[in-house]
Amino acid sequence: VSISKKPYKGTRDFFPTQKRMQNYFFSKMSKAAESFGYEPYDGPMLEEVELYKAKSGEELINDQIYSFTDRGERFVAIRPEMTPTVARMVSQVHKEVSKPIRWYSIPNLYRYERPQKGRLREHWQFNCDIFGANDIFGELEILQIAINLFKSFGADHTMFEILLNDREIVDNVFKEVLKVDEETSYKLYKIIDRYKKVTPEAFDKTLNELNLDANCIKELKEYLKLNKTSDVIEYLKSKNLSDTSKRLENLSTHLNLLQLSDFIVYDPTIVRGLDYYTGLVFEIFDKNPDNRRALCGGGSYANLLKIFNEPELGGTGFGLGDVTLENFLVGHKLLPEFSTPKNDILITFQDDIATTQAMQVASELREQGLKVITTLDKTKINKVFNLAEKKGTQFVALIGSDEVTSKSIQIKNIKTKSQEQFKITDITKIQDYLKV
Ligand code: HAM
């Protein structure tokens, strides 16, 4: 038998080019979060399955989780999402730390899904969560971080949109307008969550299986047609539910003031598949018709800490995946080139006696914080520039026997084609010359 060279189904090898891209994503993500004072955290790859059973929802538990029994008979899962972990961690420290708690992380997650465009079995997910924030202001901040991140990649409102809803509204429409019981409500959530993923006929079919009366279905369809915040507010008023719309109204006013309304669309079909959400829910979608997948999903969860017998401490956050982000950036031509590394200087020598001199200069420049590559063998002049290009350096040093005698090196700036000779003791001068 020969062992496959390919990575396990639905996972990726990150060769240097892909790893450079990942580092680029991660640095933008950290920057976006840290610009709002969010602190990095991390947790374990393995958690007890119970943690997800509590509130993550049946799809995750029944179809997607990677789970096994360990040698000590514990039933464990490779983390499929980060929210239960962060809630678990917050539950340990929330009494001691000042609120709001603002944390971010970029974990790799595993879900047993059918690998396809935008969906893999392992992905990295930027998570930003705030706990104990005042009313809509935590939600506003979370939306702002997501928008800022996209902007930092060069995206604008013509390229992506935030589809937003509030579960409190949905709960009240179900209870007060449709007058369905809790069990039917739960089923309706799951059906609406699949609204955009199925044909209208398939949607009607699953709806019919609930045996709702005709009026109820009519009411539901009326609700599902709403697509403007102002219409939702009117609608709720007409159903005597004006209290329910207060938060949406308030959020919408502030989004206007912060000039973020261009990014936001009210969408009654956004309810999210995870069970813990209780308030705001949102998903960010690519406007590119070839990539209609959620780039990001999030919302508010009021009672997740209760599963640890802790008092309520509401959280709001989102998760944004690297796979869909890459598709988004490629589609909008916003992804830079990562095929070559970036280094400061390539130091070459053309005579064996220059070997140590090349290494000495390289060491001194590294001590100054520069990225220095040395060839470990002598290099013919006609090969030097090609090599420098591959190594991503704008400067090359050449050292021959003459330079060894005069204790100097020649440095060429490939872009400007200028060249200068330096004494090897003049490290500061060399450093200045390498500044571009
Ligand atoms: P989610 O909607 O399950 O939310 O995932 C968030 C994002 O992760 C998705 O929009 C997508 O970009 C990416 N993603 C999810 N599954 C896959 C996959 N199999 N392959 C590639 N990308 C994927 C959550 O996980 C929530 N815990 C987010 C959250 C944080 N809510 C509050 N705080």
Identify the CA nearest to 293 among candidates 58, 80, 117: 117
How confident is the model over 34-57, as pLDDT tens digits? 999 999 999 999 999 999 998 888
- For residue 298, the ligand 1 atom closest to its alpha carbon is 31
Q: What is the pLDDT of residue 41?
A: 98
Label the pairing between strands 294-301 and 345-349.
unpaired
Positive or negative CA dihedral for 218, 220, 224, 229?
positive
**216: Cβ below 6 Å to ligand 1?**
no
Is residue 298 in contact with ligand 1, taking CB distance under 6 Å? yes
pLDDT band per the 50, 70, 90 thresholds, residue 371: very high
Q: Residue 188 is inside which H or E element, if any?
A: helix 182-193
Cβ(125) – ligand 1 distance below 6 Å: yes
**Integer angstrom CA distances of residue 101 from 164, 231, 409:** 24, 34, 54
Predicted model pTM: 0.95
Positive or negative torsion for Cα 226, 119, 23, 130: positive
Q: Does the pLDDT value for residue 59 go beyond 90? A: no
Task: Give the C-alpha separation, 251 to 420, whole Å.
Answer: 61
Q: Whose CA is nearest to atom 24 of ligand 1?
A: 319
Mean pLDDT across 198-225: 92
Indicate whether residue 151 lines ligand 1 (CB < 6 A).
no
Residue 135 binned pLDDT confidence (cut-offs 50, 70, 90): confident
Q: How far apart are CA 41 and CA 335, in angstroms?
A: 27
DSSP output for 305-320:
GGGGTPPP--EEEEEE
Rg (CA), the chain: 28
pLDDT digits (tens, 9 = 90+) for 313-368: 999 999 999 999 999 999 999 999 999 999 999 999 999 999 999 999 999 999 99
Q: Is 317 in the pocket of ligand 1 (CB under 6 A)?
A: yes
Residue 292 pLDDT greater than 90, yes or no: no
Read off the pLDDT of each residue in 291-314 and give the average, rounded to a whole number: 93
Please indicate whether residue 321, judged by its CB atom, sits closer than 6 Å to ligand 1. Answer: yes
Sign of torsion, CA 191 9 120 328? negative
Provide the pLDDT for residue 202: 94
Ligand 1 pocket, mutate which of 103, 123, 276 (most atoms under 8 A from CB): 123
The rounded Å distance from CA 127 to ligand 1 centre is 9
Ligand 1 pocket residue status of 90, Cβ below 6 Å:
no
For the stretch 154-183, pLDDT in tens is 999 999 999 999 999 999 999 999 999 999
